[in-house]
Amino acid sequence: MSDLVIRPLTAGEESLFTSMPDPLPELPRTGYLDGVATGGYHPERTWVALRGDRVVGRAAWVLPPGAAGRPWLEWFDLDADPQVGADLLRAAHAALGGPTLYHAAVPPRWQRIPAATRPLAAARLAGLVQHGVRLRFLHRGTPPEPSPTG
């Protein structure tokens, strides 16, 4: 197994971040490249964990144009042991001035999906603490009218 390398992206390496397949494609989120184009994501706030040339973890902090405050961890995917993700977060936090908010988006029944549980376990190992849960409900059309009774 090759050594683990954890580092931020450099300008022009956006395709390295996107080379990792989306482990939770059912989650609606703005694409990373769209976030780069609109100025929310920057290479120095985008980190990867590499084994050889394969991305096994990625994290990106976002601060939309015009927003105040520090960037927050918006994107964190992990295809490795949670310790790898914890190491990734610790290295990035050390370079970025410490941990900030982390908005973890997970699908329904996430507790049974390794692609959702691995990053959350890594975040806990890195010292991040859950402060709450926000449920998101989507209305997908109008329900049919009830049949008349009579």
Where do runs of H (alpha helix) occur along 32-105? 32-37, 82-96
The confidence score (pLDDT) of residue 28 equals: 75
40-77 tens-digit pLDDT: 999 999 999 999 999 999 999 999 999 999 999 989 99
- Given this model, what pLDDT does residue 104 score? 80
| Pairing label, strands 4-8, 72-78 | unpaired
Provide the residue count of the chain. Answer: 150
Q: What kind of fold does domain 4-125 have according to CATH?
A: Aminopeptidase (3.40.630)
Cα 43 from chain centre:
15
Beta bridge partners of 117: none
CA 31 remoteness from chain centre: 11
